[in-house]
Copies of this chain bind each other. A is one copy, B any other.
Amino acid sequence: MNDPEILDRIRIVLSHPSHPGNVGAAARAMKTMGLSRLYLVNPPPDADDVAGARAANARDVLDHAVVCGTLEAALGGTVFAAAMTARRREMAPPPQWAREAAPQIAAAAVHGPVALVFGNETAGLSNEEVALCRLPVVIPADPAYSSLNLASAVQVMCYELRLAALDPGAPRAPAHPPATAEEIRRFYAHLEAAVTHSGFLDPAHPKRLMPRLRRLFDRIGLERDEISLLRGMLKTFMPPGSKVD
């Protein structure tokens, strides 16, 4: 999948968050990953604009947040909802790991708005709230201390959703043109001449010197300009006028 509009169809729902700072930090976390639809179920009052400060330049996400009285209202119009949970719930399907869940959430968003729901910092989501969602999702944390900060959990999930929606697929093209096979052959010939001249390589007893050097330089993925650089250097290691290739 490679569809930026997917991210625009994913709601991040914070149900009963306690700390305005976390709400602002969640808005920032969303925006860094290209998400903007924030829904708040019964959020805390924020007299001192702590949320705004933590949102930094994601203030717009915060300002456009949709405030709801119930989770049902926040899920209105969605075609799919997933619930973050730190533990296995009785009667619910086993939670999926974030990395497996993200592509499913992104795939569902092809068909319409979807939601990913985060619970209160201390109590998490109630069983009733989890039951309103189709998929329980867990971030695989250390069982000895699995308490991610709310905004940190939002950051990890939005990161996974961004990668799922924009799956980079093929690696990006290198910025610099790679050396051709012929250029690389000539470089190795030049290197061999230089180490032979310097006495590092004894042609009568070559051992595994050139294969070892090739194994090393082959790993670089040499660019055309770099071949020129290396051959320019080798030239200065040899007597002036030495003939190479």
Which residues from chain A sit less than 8 Å from chain B, CB to CB? 25, 28-29, 31-34, 56-58, 94, 97, 99, 139-142, 144-149, 151-152, 155-156, 159, 162-163, 166, 168, 174-175, 194-195, 198-200, 209, 212-213, 216-217, 219-222, 226, 229-230, 232-233, 236-237
Whether B237 pairs with A148 at a CB distance below 8 angstroms is no
Given contacts A97-B168, A140-B162, A162-B142, are A32 and B229 in contact (CB under 8 A)? no
Instruction: Give the chain B neighbours of A222 by CB distance below 8 A.
Output: 216
A187 to chain B minimum Cβ distance, whole angstroms, is 12
Whether A236 pairs with B200 at a CB distance below 8 angstroms is yes
**A168 and B141 alpha carbons, distance in the complex (Å):** 13
Instruction: Give the chain B neighbours of A139 by CB distance below 8 A.
Output: 159
A209 to chain B minimum Cβ distance, whole angstroms, is 8
Whether B32 pairs with A145 at a CB distance below 8 angstroms is yes
CB nearest to A162 among chain B residues? B140
Given contacts A147-B32, A147-B56, are A219 and B216 in contact (CB under 8 A)? no
Instruction: Give the chain B neighbours of A175 by CB distance below 8 A.
Output: 94
Instruction: Give the chain B neighbours of A159 by CB distance below 8 A.
Output: 139, 156
Given contacts A28-B149, A32-B147, are A216 and B229 in contact (CB under 8 A)? yes
Whether A29 pairs with B220 at a CB distance below 8 angstroms is no
**A155 and B199 alpha carbons, distance in the complex (Å):** 52
Whether B155 pairs with A33 at a CB distance below 8 angstroms is no
19 examples of A-B residue contacts, CB within 8 angstroms: A25-B152, A28-B152, A29-B149, A32-B141, A32-B145, A32-B147, A32-B148, A33-B142, A57-B145, A94-B174, A99-B163, A155-B155, A155-B156, A156-B156, A216-B226, A216-B229, A217-B220, A219-B221, A237-B237
A95 to chain B minimum Cβ distance, whole angstroms, is 11
A221 to chain B minimum Cβ distance, whole angstroms, is 7
Given contacts A142-B34, A236-B195, A236-B200, are A25 and B162 in contact (CB under 8 A)? no
Given contacts A33-B142, A151-B152, are A220 and B216 in contact (CB under 8 A)? yes
Instruction: Give the chain B neighbours of A162 by CB distance below 8 A.
Output: 140-142
Supplied contacts A31-B142, A198-B236, 9 more A-B pairs, CB within 8 Å: A25-B149, A32-B141, A56-B147, A142-B162, A149-B151, A198-B237, A212-B226, A213-B233, A216-B229
